[in-house]
Amino acid sequence: MKNLEAARAKFRLWREDNARKSEEAITLFETILADSMHKLGDERWLVYEQVCLAACDCQRIDIIDHCLQELSKEFPGSLRVRKLRADKYISLERYSDALEILDSIIKKDETSAIPRKRKIAVLKAQGKITEAVKGLCDYLEKFQADQEAWLELSELYVSLHEYSKAAFCLEELILHNPANHLYYERYAEIKFAQGGADCVEVAQAYFCQAAKLNPRNLCALRGILSTTNYLLASPKIPATRKKDVLKLQEWVTKHLKVREEEEEDETSQQSPLILLMSDLHIKQKSN
């Protein structure tokens, strides 16, 4: 009984933390829960759902089918169960079957975000990037505050070399979260990749903002250095502007050296501790 309560507590904790812990979940189910699910009361349906998702991750079709059978008997016609069935087909790479189910769910409930995101993931897995982009654009018309979706769309546009559209996605992200230095950094990287003196000037400004928000951001500092090198070599930049760029280059070179030295010191200080922890771990195993 203690083992059952401990397993129940773990599944509750994973639900609260939105964690899958797939292999551990499968082990707990097979060794403790499989024959005792009825003792969990109504909570067993949540656990069945967790186990089903874990089994999809581990491609344990026998467990997936068992969970789906139990859930379908209790909740016939449930959209959540149909989503799980789509997950089963995704794990088997039966993408057309998964898309058929997801499309039917979307048609029945247009306000649900999860099946739309699942569909986009399937299209990406199939290599249908253009269709995935269209799906994300449609999705963001309804769920404009989903920052993860904006970031994913920007990366898809980058993969298609559509840098101006990718930059627009990052502009939306910066509007949603103006204090996130990583968004400024990524926007600057996209503008730098877009090329041309005008875009590189914009990239420099955004790398500077990223470094201002987080002075420890080495990527932003290196980005500033790259943009200064580009602008100093560009014939399109007037001499008066190059003086300012040169001052910035001198500053960032000095600041970057200090930060890299600090990072090396931090790494060297951590190394003995990491080695000690590894040694303790080995000794514990041997005991």
Q: What share of the chain is helix, strand, coil (3-state, %, to 5)?
A: 85, 0, 15
Tokens standing for 99? Answer: 């898309």
**Non-local CB neighbours of 38 within 8 Å, separated by 6+ positions:** 44
71 in Cβ contact with 81 (< 8 Å): yes
Burial of 232 (0-12, 13-18, 19+ CB in 10 A): middle
pLDDT at 60 exceeding the cut of 70: yes
CA distance 182 to 73: 47
Is the pLDDT higher at 262 or at 180? 180
Tokens standing for 61? Answer: 């079709």
Domain 180-265 has CATH 1.10.3470: no
Backbone phi, psi, residue 282, to 5°: -65, -40
* CB atoms closer than 10 angstroms to residue 100: 12
pLDDT of residue 111: 84
pLDDT at 185 exceeding the cut of 50: yes
Per residue in 22-38, pLDDT (tens digit) is 999 999 999 999 989 99
pLDDT at 125 exceeding the cut of 70: yes
pTM: 0.79
Start-to-end Cα distance in the chain: 29
What are the sequence ranges of the domains in the chain? 1-90, 126-178, 180-265
pLDDT at 58 exceeding the cut of 90: yes
Per residue in 247-286, pLDDT (tens digit) is 999 999 998 888 888 777 666 555 555 555 555 554 444 4
pLDDT at 178 exceeding the cut of 90: yes
What does the mean pLDDT of the chain come to?
Answer: 90
pLDDT at 211 exceeding the cut of 50: yes
Q: What one-character DSSP code corresponds to residue 40?
A: G
